[in-house]
Amino acid sequence: MDLLHPSFSAQLFVEFVQLWKIVQQVNLRLHSQDEIAWMFSESGQFSTSSAYHAQFLRMISTNLNEIIWSAWAPPKCKFFSWLAVQDRIWTADRLHARGWPHNPVCVLCRRAPETGMHLFTECRFTRRIWVDISTWLGEPSLLPINWKQTASVHEW
């Protein structure tokens, strides 16, 4: 490690010292065989399947995909719904993150930044639509006042 190299920053030095302290606490056992255990399977053995399942630990499991794709609706509506659940609609925040031209403000209310969450749950026009749908269906759980606050469409 070249401490005099121009790219060696103070932050890098701090991380190096932290790593050094952690490594110093490792105790090796002489004359014993190393044991490698894969913690994502009961047998302790690695498998492609267990690695795949490990990617989804602590994720919320829903049946939204089943609901979307089995619903009676035109295919483009199903596709749009699927994109919304995946948080992949090209809203202003996503366009901005890619450096693409965009209008940052919601075109409906012209008051807040356009995000997927804003368009579906926070915009005053959208909330009014949810109230109308709730009334029409007689389903109070669809009323915006009954919603729990989430950070993402994924958590609905």
Q: Cα(58)–Cα(22) distance, rounded to whole angstroms?
A: 27
**Predicted TM-score of the model (pTM):** 0.54
pLDDT average, residue stretch 35-42 = 84
pLDDT one-digit tens code per residue, 3-36: 667 777 888 888 888 999 999 988 888 888 888 8
Strand partners, 47: none
pLDDT average, residue stretch 67-73 = 90
pLDDT for 114: 94
Domain boundaries, the chain: 64-155
Pull the structure tokens for residue 94: 């996503």
pLDDT band at 131 (very low <50, low <70, confident <90, very high): very high
pLDDT average, residue stretch 112-132 = 92
Q: Cα(40)–Cα(134) distance, rounded to whole angstroms?
A: 43
